[in-house]
Structure 1
Amino acid sequence: DEQDYTTRMVKRFGDDQDPLKMLIVIDKLLTGFDEPKNAVLYIDKPLKEHNLIQAIARVNRLHAKKQFGLLIDYRGILAELDTTLGKYQDLASRTQGGYDIDDIQGLYEQMSTEYKRLPQLYKTLWAIFDGVKNKQDIEQLRQVLVPRMEDRDGELVDINLKTRDDFYEALTNFTSCLKVALQSATFFEDKSFTDADRRHYKETVKQLSNLRQLVKQDTGDTVDYDAYADQVKKLLDKHVVGVEVREPGGAYEVGKMGQQKKEEWTEEKTRNETDIIKTRVTKMIEQELLDDPYAQEEFSRLLRKVIEEAEKLFDHPLKQYMLFQEFSEQVEQRRLDDVPDVFDGNRLAQAYFGLFKQVLPEVFTVTDQQVQDKWVKLAFEVDESVTQAVAENSINPQNIEADIRKKLLPMLFKEAKGVGAGMDQARKLVEKVVQITRVGLGKAS
């Protein structure tokens, strides 16, 4: 059955796992066929007016891995496209697919002339690094993009965030244009572009794509083969090749390749690594300490203090690096001078102890070991009660919070009352415990 066969072929074409990647049709699929990933349409038949518009629509659907569609015209019919669009403007509705026909203007370009945009895109891309003296030095380029946290009106902000976004966009635009250009015969026939120009453009993509991946790692972003990375990989594999093979100069221990002693770092690399640690520890405090409000508050305060100390060491970049490295380890281990080390990795009990210091600060104004031991013991008891509530309501997790409140409120009210506080403080403690539990359950899921 022809209809059944067509339906099956269309379904296979839309399946990413199916080896079928091309459909050849005659008088079919101009209407009623909508496959967003369809990126190329080869036209070898006369089309005009409505049928031409319908054909173009086959490749202009949005898809995550597609930046544009390609029309390969073997009949010269696209020369009539402007005329066709003009005729559509005379229609009473003046719409096509729900949009004013004027919106279509400028949405298509001749592939054979797309390469002429390369010089301006290249200029825009490198303008980001105008202040860099040696543009072959990866560390100098990296310094322009590496996360750099500064205090702005009491809030730590990454002042290089916009520059990185501009770089990602400029590199994507340049790479996409070069990819099209390298598939166009006119790019190679145009005498205003030399072989050296084309080779330099390809080397630029390779150099700055490596920089992009490095910066993604610097910022803690997930480095994956997204649509851009996949395109670049194909472009480099196809168009950028090695030029010579050299004999090895000796043997290398793979695990130590690329490693360098900190004392041997250049000033640019040292400052870059310092900024990376500063950004990483800032994210750690903001994101990983959500289950310990007291530690989050204290480490945020200490971070500002460390930044102030680092500013005094500006002429000693390695000392700056070591200062942030030591602080990063302190945050990672959640070591605070006013929190006893008896919790032995029980971060939740430690967080509950921190809540007592937040809500009942007057209790800890006097240094008394017996008093501290009492509240440490209570923190472990709270942890046991919460653990029990979670376990008992694992089948009906919506009851966990109610059970925690039921278990903890009488206990914490008694202790709060004993130090001159009351029900308000007890309720505040319970709600903060519930919030910590929500964070923990969120991480677990």
Structure 2
Amino acid sequence: MNTTPQGNEQYSSHIPALATLINLGWTFLPATKCQAQRGSQRDVVLKPVLEQVLRQRRFEFKGESYPLSEQAVDQVMREITTPSMAQGLMAANQSVYDMLTLGITVTEFVDGKKATPTIHLIDWENLDNNQFHVTEEMEVLSAQGTHTRRPDVVTFVNGIPLAVIEAKKAASGNPNKDMVEEGISQNIRNQKNDEIPYLYAFAQLLFAISRNDGRYGTTHTPMKFWSKWQDEEFDDQYVQGIKNQPLLASDKNTLFQDKPGKIRDYFEALWSKPMMPTEQDRLLVGLLDRHRFLEFLRLFILFDQKIGKIAARYPQAFGIKALLER
């Protein structure tokens, strides 16, 4: 059987990225299931997941704890899923970021007394109170409804799409064409007004990966500022351990259920031997480890009036973490 690395994206980057994310604790949702949760190709939030999370949220009032009312659940869902695009993508993205980090204040009545608790969309303190999903080939209708775009991989926290990944094959066959730069270009193009900016109103980190390269940016990051990530805590042995962790049979079945049998055969053979980590794995483990991802979103993203939105580079992130620990 042929186990030479296949040239196309699915073999070289796309499925390996999904396998790494599954090993990092993200639950894989096949595109068809994801579409069913979204409802329409315009919608990008998995509303059933978000609603389920909100129904588990409680608020304190006069020393007692209460579940959210139907009205409050509806209000939070309405606010987070309808960011205004009128002032442009960056303003919408900042308003979503503020809701994610600061929460949404609702009005509740307890025995006729008014309470105004702030409800958090993400439980930043307790990882297990959140739901983490990843999907592939997510088809999104453009703003004008004229065409669709399909980002390769999208990750969701509590049903909200927070990272978009373009996975490319390692080499283009054209010496002047860098595949990761092509992935960056697609992310930049897809943010335009007549493309799928609504998805990017939610997305906080953007990635372009190929087997031997990987870079990340955020909303409106120009190509030259997309950065590599070098980890100062997770060494290669750690990354290799995650990459070589065997997938559960149930995860494998879900991952390959809509794909031709020969793809599964190829990966079963590939995964039967130890694999070395790639640049793609280092970037994904470094920034999409679930603890790391939430920490990065909360502490290392900044909106600046002049420059726009900035995601920290690795020396800044590790420098700040070292200062905090000291």
| Superposition TM-score, scaled by structure 2 size | 0.25
Higher relative contact order (CA 8 A, sep 6+): 2
Say which structure is richer in strand. Answer: 2
Q: Which has the larger radius of gyration?
A: 1
Say which structure is richer in helix. Answer: 1
